[in-house]
Amino acid sequence: MIKIVSLLTRKPELTHEQFVAHWRDIHGPLALGIPGVRRYVQSHIQGTRTRADIAETDIAVDGIAELWYDNEDALRASAATPEAKRLYADGALFIGRIKTYVVSEEIIIAGT
C-alpha cells in the first residue's frame, strides 16, 4: 500500500469556507470515479494548536488530502486516466499551492 499526503492552500481570492465547499462538494465527488484509488480522506483545517516548547512552522494550510493506492504502479496508472486529469483540472481552479508527500504509515495506535 502507498499513501500520498498533500498540504493544500487555497487561491488568494477564495475564503477558507469557499475553498472547503468547493473541495468537499465539487472536487470530492470527482475523486469517486478515479480507478485505483483505495481510499480518499479530506481533512479540513478548523484551527491550530501550538506548544510553548516548540516553535510553530510558518505555513498556511487550508486542508490535507490523503490518498491510498495498492502500489506505485497503481498510482501512476491512476494518474494517467481521464478521470484523474479532470480532477487535476478542477484542483487548479481552487488550489493555490500544494506540497505532496509519498509516505509510509507506521501505525502506533490502531482504531477500532
pTM check: above 0.95 = no
| CATH number, domain with residue 15 | 3.30.70.100
Residue 22 within a domain: yes
Contact between residue 15 and residue 96 where contact means Cβ atoms under 8 Å apart: no
> Is residue 112 scored above 80 in pLDDT?
no
pLDDT at 90 over 90: yes
Q: Kindly state whether residue 111 falls inside one of the protein's structural domains.
A: no
Q: 27: exposed, middle or buried (C-beta count within 10 Å: 0-12, 13-18, 19+)?
A: buried
Domain that holds residue 26: 2-48+59-103
The per-residue pLDDT for 106 is 87
Residue 52 pLDDT: 92
Total domains in the chain come to 1
Per-residue pLDDT of 32-67, as tens digits, reads: 999 999 999 999 999 988 889 999 888 899 999 999
Question: Domain for residue 83, yes or no?
Answer: yes
Give the pLDDT band of residue 100 (cuts 50, 70, 90).
Answer: very high
The answer to whether residue 110 is domain-embedded is no
